[in-house]
Amino acid sequence: MLQLHKLERYKDDQGNEIVYDGEIREDKIDIRFKGSNNTLVISADADIRDLLVTFSGDNGRIEIGSTTKKRAGLRFELRCGHESRIWIGENVGCAGRTFISAVEGVSVSIGDDVMFAKNIEVRGDDTHPIFDVRTEKRVNPSQSIVVGEHVWIAKHAVVMGGVTIGNGSVIGFRSIVTSSIPNNCIAVGAPARVVRKDIAWERPEVVPRRPNEQYPRKGEKSPKYWNLTDETAVPEKPVVRPRAEAPQRRLARRLPAPVRRLARKLLPSRKV
């Protein structure tokens, strides 16, 4: 394993590469390459405050967008497996370190202007496999995640694989998102359920405001994200990435049933 503690442009003979032309950073930087042909792309003006990146396979790619507006800064623990991808849009902010995991060829996409609170996980996998004991088939395949633009995810929330969260929505405190959430709504609970639709939220805090003060103040409204909830825009079921099937298995399934039964007797150690 190769471990780097400096954020700067880098390339090695294993094909691993860091594409970054911004100010060199050494504080709270930990980048680990355990495979080959992995790429980390970070915008020159991304406000990196705390970054732990682990490429645990080959051909992974992570992209982090720019920070052009006042935000809490970027604090991430990112895990990227074989042929997987993590994309983080522009002007994302994190009050604490957010964990994002994409392995087994899936992707996690975070839209522009997303606001993460503290202790949040966005994970396309469960880390460990779970099987049906009767069929021996895996029941928890890794799945991709899409978090839309201007989404607010509150403290201790978890977003699980196969989920899409629409633009402008709010995920409540300690919620676990296991199914897709439409745009411009509030979802809370474990599992998370929509409790209010047709909402919009803004970043300015209420802490310093006077009682009964009018909202939003002039210049605070972001009209782009003030929309009615459209439930038809969210897929009913998560999309599971199709698995490549071994050539011999595909061929065997085209054989007549008597031939397959005979093959099982002759080759008991192989599934046909």
Q: Two tokens at 254?
A: 């085209």
The residue written with tokens 């002759």 in the block is 266
**Under 8 Å CB-to-CB from 51, ≥6 apart: which residues?**
7, 28, 29, 30, 31, 74, 75, 76, 78
Neighbours of 198 (CB within 10 A): 11
Q: What backbone torsions phi and psi does residue 253 show, to the nearest 5 degrees?
A: -70, -15
Residue 183 and residue 169 in contact, taking contact as beta carbons nearer than 8 Å: yes
How far, in Å, are 147, 203, 224, 236, 249 from residue 230 at the CA level? 16, 23, 15, 13, 42
> Known catalytic residue: 128?
yes
Residue 78 and residue 55 in contact, taking contact as beta carbons nearer than 8 Å: no
Helix (H) or strand (E) holding 2: strand 2-4
Q: Which of 5, 82, 128, 150 is catalytic?
A: 128
Measured between alpha carbons, how far is 171 from 238 in angstroms, rounded to an integer? Answer: 18
**Under 8 Å CB-to-CB from 149, ≥6 apart: which residues?**
89, 111, 112, 113, 114, 167, 168, 225
Measured between alpha carbons, how far is 12 from 228 in angstroms, rounded to an integer? Answer: 49
Measured between alpha carbons, how far is 106 from 127 in angstroms, rounded to an integer? Answer: 13
Active site residues: 128
